[in-house]
Amino acid sequence: MERTWTQHRPPVGLDPSPVRHARGRGHGGEEHVRSERLVACRRRGQPGPLSERLGGRLVGDRTAHPAPAAGAGRGTPGGRCLVTSAEQVAIAVPTGALHDGALSLLARSGLASLGAEELGRQLLVEREGLRVILVRPSDVPAYVDHGAADLGIVGKDILWETPGAHYELVDLRFGGCRLVLAVPDASSLDGPETWPPMIRVATKYPRTAAAWFESRGQAVEVVQLHGSVELAPQVGLVDGIVDLTATGRTLRDNRLRITAVLGTSTARLIANQASLKTRTAAVQSVVAKMREASSDAG
């Protein structure tokens, strides 16, 4: 069994000098002098060569950094989490496809009128009674679950994939799309009766896809991708894809056809469990306004 790196032998063709230097460091010559100097500096509490480059602060010197204030939590520099006042409500707003709809909903609710450019530049904007936090769509549940936001706007597709410790309160009725199984136009695959014993699909939703096939008694190999999954069937990587589509145009452009619909996704309003219990009045006031605005739009 070859363990070239654990035995400190470089692969064939690689200059062995860096490995020899690494093995010999601290055993003599210039490296030994540097090592002794660094140890001496640490004993005297003085800056060494590395700390000199960092402005004289010693790495690992606890006295160089002030302790967090009493009551400080985790989450941001200084140990403070994003704590709002009893009246202020923090809401996580997603980037991407749901962004414009979320800002429109906040405006119709009378909560905040924000331009996409303003929020995109600042990431965190405060208005009277409201703190708006701009985050990636897949991060919204984490911000809500861990208390950095009281509320969050997120697609149902993300909630399928990453269930968490939050309440799903309102279907906001925008951002509608379908999670579908699509195969190449020339494929013989259609309904379940045409599936092979083991079907292979590419998706950004591995948990959801696996659960859907399992519920139908179908063995599946899920290939998780983070880019454009439409390419995967064209190069023979998979039999089909599981992906979101609003109009189906991207699928058609890539010569793919829909054979099954796994579910329909829209934007949802989720809430932190503790916020609903400890700051009920403030949070429910915002929820009521957003529910009314989403109903009017529907």
The total number of residues shown for the chain amounts to 298
CA within 13 Å, CB half, 283: 23
- Tell me the pLDDT of the chain (298 aa) as tens digits: 444 444 434 344 434 444 333 344 444 444 444 444 444 444 444 544 433 433 443 333 433 334 333 333 333 333 334 455 567 999 999 999 999 999 999 999 999 888 766 666 778 888 888 999 999 999 999 999 999 999 999 999 999 999 889 999 999 999 999 999 999 999 999 999 999 999 999 999 999 999 999 999 999 999 999 999 999 999 999 999 999 999 999 999 999 999 999 999 999 999 999 999 999 999 999 999 999 999 876 6
Q: Give Cβ neighbours of residue 236 (< 8 Å, ≥ 6 apart).
A: none
Bridge partner list, 257: 183
Q: Say what the pLDDT of residue 167 is.
A: 96
In the CATH scheme, what architecture does the domain 177-265 have? 3-Layer(aba) Sandwich (3.40)
Domain ranges of the chain: 18-63, 89-175+267-297, 177-265
Closest CA to 97 of 65, 61, 136: 136
Q: Dihedral angle at the C-alpha atoms of 249, 231, 238, 220, nearest 10 degrees?
A: -60
Cα–Cα distance for residue pair 184/239, rounded to 1 Å: 8
79 exposed, middle or buried (CB, 10 Å; 0-12, 13-18, 19+)? middle
Q: For residue 89, what are the CA distances in angstroms to 71, 142, 165?
A: 20, 17, 18
Query: What are the structure tokens assigned to 20, written together?
Result: 């020899």
One CATH from 3.40.50.720, 3.40.50.10320, 3.40.190.10, 3.10.250.10 for 89-175+267-297: 3.40.190.10
Q: Say what the pLDDT of residue 118 is.
A: 66
Cα–Cα distance for residue pair 33/29, rounded to 1 Å: 6
Cα–Cα distance for residue pair 144/121, rounded to 1 Å: 22
Q: Identical fold at 89-175+267-297 and 177-265?
A: yes
Give the orientation angle of helix 99-108 with respect to helix 280-297, to 10 degrees.
Answer: 110
Which residue, chain included where needed, has tokens 């055993």? 27
Q: Say what the pLDDT of residue 298 is.
A: 60
DSSP secondary structure of 120-142 = HHHSEEEETTEEEEEE-GGGHHH
Q: Say what the pLDDT of residue 19 is.
A: 37
- Where are the alpha helices (H) located in 45-186, listed in sequence order? 49-53, 99-108, 116-122, 140-145, 156-161
Output phi, psi for 145, to 5 deg: -60, -35
Q: Give Cβ neighbours of residue 89 (< 8 Å, ≥ 6 apart).
A: 129, 130, 131, 150, 151, 275, 279, 282, 283, 285, 286
Closest CA to 182 of 135, 117, 233: 233
Query: What are the structure tokens assigned to 21, written together?
Result: 């230097």
